[in-house]
Structure 1
Amino acid sequence: MAAQHPGHPLRVGIDGVCGAGKTTFARELRDAVETAGRPAVHVDSDGFHHVRARRYRQGRTSARGYYEDAYDFDGLVARVLEPLGPGGSREYATRIHDLRSDEVVTGETARCPVDAVVLFDATFLQRDGLRACWDEVIYLQSDEAAATARGIARDGLPAEAYATRYLAACRLYLAEQRPAERASIVVEHTDPAAPRITVRRR
């Protein structure tokens, strides 16, 4: 990451199923990039959800609803990925939604150094219409049982409720988009303390 200089901030997506350890990995990667001498920015995916009415319009337990409606990826593209891409202004939104209050946020922006590595972690980052906006995608490969156990512990949900909405949504994503096959880097991440690159395509 630190060796790449595309002429604009390097846009890196950290992908993986729920509970794969994406946020922890992104923070560790940010620190490693900074240690290597490059500025690094971690954009928090919690600031890029749809409003609650949109998130639950297909029902609070709907897997398809979580897959299609959880994140405002159009907003992410327009407000972050395009401004940070070739010819962009480098002025990006740090968030567009407040998850706690469910309010749309406008005007919270920052200017990104041209040589920065920008990290964004979320599930479903390689859906159609989004893949072309990343310069690199790191897919965290995790055993389903291990990832599910971490997700349940993190979210405090009953196992059945978690499986019905979140695990089922991840299975839809895996079947429809084959993210591990499309990512530029695949990291074995069943044990977050021992990440290991297994595929490097660029």
Structure 2
Amino acid sequence: MDLDDVIDLVAGRRTSAGHPIVVGISGYCGSGKSTLARSVAGALPGTVRIRGDDFLDPERSHRRSIDWDGVDRARLTSSVLEPHRAGRASTFQRFDWSVRALGPVEPLPTTDVVIVDLIGLFHPDAMPHIDVAVWCDVDLDTAARRGMARDRRLGRDHDRLWRDVWIPSERDFEARFAPRGGAVVFSAG
């Protein structure tokens, strides 16, 4: 699929679902998830993007795990995914990276389409709450190179984390959950 195909898929599901929908965009670190999420949200008026980074635990996400334990899927599911799909009002808290704590409570935006882009999103705990799952298809080596370059441009020295934690965690998650298999594939080449 290309960008236009993804936009058409989301637009079609938006009109046929009969309830507010969740679009999950996942892929390896550095695969282009956020870029794709911004592009789809920008093309579909009224769509709201929820940043996956707001649901990471910085301590746990810097430790190797086989299921991306640093992703707070329970908080994401209970405060965003479930209430949004049910059309219920809810509140959530974004992780404030500047103070390394949860930020203030804010209302979940009212919309018919929420897009969440996040590593480790296509996990059995979250998948039942996702209407459209899109995998950003870039091989792990390419995604890691892109992510490391991005971090360096932002002044972050995460090379050790990439080598020792994030790349092995990506491999472990893929081996355990095969996240690409339950999604439509976006060619992020």
Shorter chain as denominator, the TM-score bin is 0.7 to 0.9
1:3 aligns with 2:12: yes
Corresponding residue for residue 135 of structure 1: 131
1:64 aligns with 2:60: no
- Equivalents in 2 of 1:65, 1:132: separation in Å? 20
Secondary structure class of the residue paired with 2:53: helix
Structure 1 stretches of 4+ moved >3 Å = 157-161
Structure with greater helix percent:
2
Equivalent runs, 1:68-79 vs 2, <5 Å: 68=69, 70-79=70-79
Corresponding residue for residue 164 of structure 1: 164
- 1:13 and 1:92, CA in 2 relative to 1: closer, same or farther beyond 3 A? farther
Corresponding residue for residue 195 of structure 1: none
TM-superposed deviation, 1:162 = 1.2
Corresponding residue for residue 151 of structure 1: 147
- Equivalents in 1 of 2:131, 2:158: separation in Å? 37
Deviations along 1:165-190, whole A, 9 cap, x unmatched? 1111111111001011111x111212
Equivalent position amino acid for 2:117 in 1: D
TM-superposed deviation, 1:144 = 2.1
- Equivalents in 2 of 1:189, 1:106: separation in Å? 34
- Equivalents in 1 of 2:142, 2:131: separation in Å? 29
Query: Mind listing any 5+ residue stretches in structure 2 that lack a counterpart?
Result: 1-9
Deviations along 1:4-44, whole A, 9 cap, x unmatched? 2323221000010111010011001111222xxxx210111
Contact 2:66 2:173 in 1 (8 A): no
**TM-score, normalization: structure 2?**
0.83
**TM-score, normalization: structure 1?**
0.78
1:45 aligns with 2:52: yes
Secondary structure class of the residue paired with 2:75: helix
Task: Select which of 30, 34, 43 maps to 1:19.
Answer: 30
Contact 2:23 2:116 in 1 (8 A): yes
Corresponding residue for residue 90 of structure 2: 91
- Equivalents in 2 of 1:160, 1:122: separation in Å? 21
- Equivalents in 2 of 1:160, 1:104: separation in Å? 26
CA RMSD between the two structures = 2.0
- Equivalents in 2 of 1:111, 1:24: separation in Å? 21
Equivalent position amino acid for 2:141 in 1: A
- Equivalents in 2 of 1:44, 1:63: separation in Å? 22
- Equivalents in 1 of 2:53, 2:99: separation in Å? 12
Corresponding residue for residue 103 of structure 2: 105
Corresponding residue for residue 197 of structure 1: none
